[in-house]
Structure 1
Amino acid sequence: HADPIAAVLEVTRGHRLFKGKVVDVERNTDGMFVRGRAVVAGLDDDKGRELVIEFQNENIIARADGRALCTSPDLIMSLDMESGTPVTTEGLKYGARIVVVGMPCDDQWRTPEGLAVVGPRAFGYDLDYVPVEELVATEGGR
């Protein structure tokens, strides 16, 4: 594959959520967890938009312009725009150019029992889980 992002999307059944440059990162250590958020300013097709990724060791919610695009338990992956290499929450730095991808989780995590453990509410967010493929469809099939 000449395009590493396209290769990741193909292999993971993932969805391209956002392309941009990290313009702010906040991290706080809270006991065993690193909590925080990264703000990404849109580039190319996403120019003029803003994405916020909220994390607690792992990415929990990705919101563009205040609207959820992907939430736990679906996977939110930040990939280096050029190489497709994963960028961890610890690796998110000002100026990084990334593509954010949402990948559907295994169906067992979408059950009431799974969501009780890893859904947005399990992490303290007042937000119901909606599968990434449904959120992307309402966003216009991005």
Structure 2
Amino acid sequence: MTDTEFLLISKGDSIAIAVYNEADLAVKVRVDNSGMVNFPLIGAITVLGLSPKELAAKLEGRYLDGYLVEPLVTVSIEKYRPFYIHGEVKSPGVYEFTQDLSVNQAIAIAGGLTERASSSHWFIARGREKEPLKANPSTRVLPGDIISIKASFF
């Protein structure tokens, strides 16, 4: 999986949809487990796994089909699903994802490393399989990642 696949719309993301000159068609919603979002006039549409651009094109096509003459739809992800950090950090937990976040920055958000923290046994679990990958301070954190900081043995 590529990094861009994790920036697609997923469960837990908050999205905003606007239709130019059609304020009544605006939607702001958090994507739930169903992955479906109800839109005015056109009903429920699956949004999971689409990029904002793909969803906009899909909505334009649906609105063009008998509802609007020239729909111009914009879709943005207002808030991504959180990332998680546990292990040897001072405040393990769930934190809001921000763009261009590194493991080092995530550790700082979690209050820094504990005295027992390893300086090299850091892992990130991502994707459906959540298979742990070796991480370092500059490793990029993506929405939904689970960061694990192991204890040092010395």
TM > 0.5 fold call = no
Question: Larger % of strand: which?
Answer: 1
Question: Larger % of helix: which?
Answer: 1
The answer to which structure, 1 or 2, has the higher relative contact order (CA under 8 A, 6+ apart) is 1
- TM-score if structure 1 supplies the norm length? 0.29
The structure with the largest alpha-carbon Rg is 2
